Structure 1
Amino acid sequence: MAEIKIHEFQVAMTCEGCSGAVQRVLNKFEGKGVNKVSIDLPSQKVEVTSTLSPDQLMDILKKTGKQVTYVKST
């Protein structure tokens, strides 16, 4: 079984609508590799607790049309 990690991304979000779009796209993968999502709008950070790889999560986040940068995994 894949290891559960916390992946941090920088996502260009300027409003509640932006963070809502990120939340919605990640919610589609809840139970399919995404365990928990934490969005910090002021710092434009998204933390995803997941068994998916950073590349897989980047592909999901890019569906929002926002600029996404991978920061780190812990």
Structure 2
Amino acid sequence: MSKVHLFKAEMTCEGCSSAITRILDRMKDKGVESVECSLPEQTVRVKSTLDADTLLEAIKKSGKACSYVGKSS
């Protein structure tokens, strides 16, 4: 079952959010359904069947500091 996870990520420009989105988009065949990055809020919202730790490790591959906030609605 899909859950929506919320992460905080240091993003300073569109390039930062695009990098995170690209990484997570590559995981669509593994369970990622949608990705929404918000530069003003410095958040990444991911709807996925994957667990938060797996998603967090993927976001860290962008080189941006990030942390898990919790489940979102």
Report if TM-score (shorter chain) is over 0.5. yes
Instruction: Say whether 1:60 aligns with 2:44.
Output: no
* Structure-2 separation of matches of 1:8 and 1:43: 11
1:13 corresponding residue in structure 2: 11
Q: TM-score, normalised by structure 1?
A: 0.93
Listed as ranges, the gaps of 5+ residues in structure 1 are none
User: Displacement, 1:73?
Assistant: 1.1
* Alignment length (residue pairs): 72
* Structure-1 separation of matches of 2:33 and 2:12: 25
SS in 2 for 1:13: coil
1:37 corresponding residue in structure 2: 35
* Structure-1 separation of matches of 2:23 and 2:51: 16
Q: Percent identity?
A: 46
2:46 corresponding residue in structure 1: 48
- Higher helix share goes to which structure? 2
Structure 1 runs (4+) deviating above 2 angstroms are none
Q: TM-score, normalised by structure 2?
A: 0.94
* Structure-1 separation of matches of 2:40 and 2:22: 19
